[in-house]
Chain A
């Protein structure tokens, strides 16, 4: 990059998470459009009258001013741009949003993220906010994020021998990152069967624009299968358990109530 990095950056950012730093400060993990994912310090954010604490809650879009520090940037100003009130109004919607944040955090590398990831996340949060189906938004985001982060799953051809596969003859492996033909699956002890209907939806989600993907009807059984596949893929790619994926399931079954927040076109 030509020239020296500026000492002060003004940027938008989605707050992915934060953690404590000492008695009163916080380290906030930000996803920015032009400067990738980066950690910055919010000094005094744990004090009750802090002007930084409110805007810097995770799951919000902020505009902020960062002063370059030696190791970590310091947040000098923060102003809320979008706080996604609908995401805070329902448990399942909130759980889905938390999952998008954690997935983004786990699949991105500090300071090297392509700008596309910021747009993807903001778009997905916006769709959740306006009430789109939780499964639809989560699955299409997972596929797009995996692709942007360089982990595009392969749903068309066997990942081992590159043979084109019909939807009903495929096995799949999260570790291998896609579908396998029967003979190749024998060499992958972790491979399992993949429902043909689910595979067709995954192919469609990967290839078509969102508006078209939104027209595919998901019954509860199909939605559950898709979620199972994508959560397994996310876990294998992130190489760790995603706590928010478990919370998505816990939120759905809490209180023994059926999913009440599904959008049209999804499970009742």
Chain B
């Protein structure tokens, strides 16, 4: 029912491409047009590799059945790595948080990705996250986890999620810890909020 030489609406390939770019986050109508015309002028090879990459990411990347991280094979490389410490499990909000923690080089345990954080006012409750998968993993598969490190963000939603997880996990006989909270490098005491400064004092360390 679409198509036709008019060039208007969703029928025209250019309009469809502009529309598709416009749906991406952070892309307004002008940027969408610019991107579409860039593709139009680029060599066919470039357009094809972009199309292939788009399809491939949707077809090949799935969630790891164990840690729920994005992966091309299930179980993922991290979960399969025999060199990881299986007694430590770090729970994070998003796949990018795994990357961030891996970058520190200070953690050799396993991960679990929640794919979000409890945010009741936005309609995101525990059921919307990969919490059931986490419980199943800890209860049923005997991976030998002894400590769960809850590495959600140090904000209201992250705290709510951490406390909720702690409630669920403690009855399983696990040690549940939370990332320390305090002053970021380069911070200024004068501008720190009370809660942060309070925690920084509470969890002070000997120098």
Check B159 against A88 for contact (C-beta < 8 Å).
Answer: yes
CB contact between B122 and one of A49, A59, A243, A257 (< 8 Å): that residue: A243
Q: Which residues from chain A contact B26 at a C-beta distance below 8 Å?
A: 22-23
With a CB–CB cut-off of 8 A, which chain A residues contact B156? 57-59, 88, 98
Give every chain A residue within 8 A of B180 (Cβ-Cβ). Answer: none
B195 and A83 within 8 A (CB):
yes
One digit per residue, 1 when the CB lies within 8 angstroms of any chain B CB and 0 when it does not, for chain A 30-58 equals 00000000000000000011010011011
Nearest CB on B from A132, distance (A) = 20
B139 in contact (CB, < 8 A): no
Contact A251 B195 (CB under 8 A): no
Decide: A243 and B163 in contact? CB cutoff 8 A: no
List chain B residues, Cβ under 8 A from A257.
Answer: 167, 171
What interface size band does chain B fall in? Answer: 20 to 34
Interface extent on A, as a size class?
35 or more
Interface string of B110-129 (1 = CB under 8 A from A): 00000000111111111000
B124 to chain A: closest CB distance in Å?
A: 7
Given contacts A59-B156, A90-B163, A94-B160, contact A247 B120 (CB under 8 A): yes
Task: Decide if B194 touches A91 in the complex (CB within 8 Å).
Answer: no
Cα distance A74–B195 in the bound complex, in angstroms = 24
Are A256's CB and B121's CB within 8 A?
no
Closest to B163 in A: A91
Say if the beta carbon of B196 comes within 8 Å of chain A. yes
| Alpha-carbon gap, A98 to B194, bound state (A) | 20
Report how far A100 CA is from B87 CA in the complex, Å.
39
| Of A23, A54, A57, A101, the contact of B121 (CB 8 Å cutoff) | A101
Q: Mask for B151-176, Cβ within 8 A of A = 1, else 0?
A: 00001100110011011111100000
CA distance A26 to B173 in the complex (A): 39
**Contact, CB under 8 Å: B171 / A250:** no
Nearest chain B residue, comparing its CB with the CB of A52: B191
- Expressed in whole angstroms, the Cα–Cα distance for A51 and B191 within the complex equals 6
Minimum CB–CB distance for A254 against chain B, Å: 4
Check A255 against B168 for contact (C-beta < 8 Å).
yes
Q: When the two chains form their complex, are residues B193 and A95 in contact, meaning their CB atoms are under 8 A apart? A: no
B124, B184, B193 interface centre (most CB from chain A within 10 Å) = B193
Is A163 among interface residues, defined by CB-CB distance under 8 A? Answer: no
Q: Which residues of A contact B169 (CB under 8 A)?
A: 255
Q: Does A102 contact B (CB under 8 A)?
A: yes
In contact, A94 and B121 (Cβ under 8 angstroms): no
Query: Which A residues lie within 8 Å of B187 (CB)?
Result: 49
Closest 6 CB pairs of A and B: A54-B193, A244-B120, A247-B120, A255-B167, A243-B120, A254-B167
* 6 CB-based A-B contacts, threshold 8 Å: A22-B26, A54-B193, A95-B120, A247-B118, A255-B169, A257-B167
Interface residues of B (CB under 8 A from A): 26, 118-126, 155-156, 159-160, 163-164, 166-171, 184, 186-188, 191-196, 198
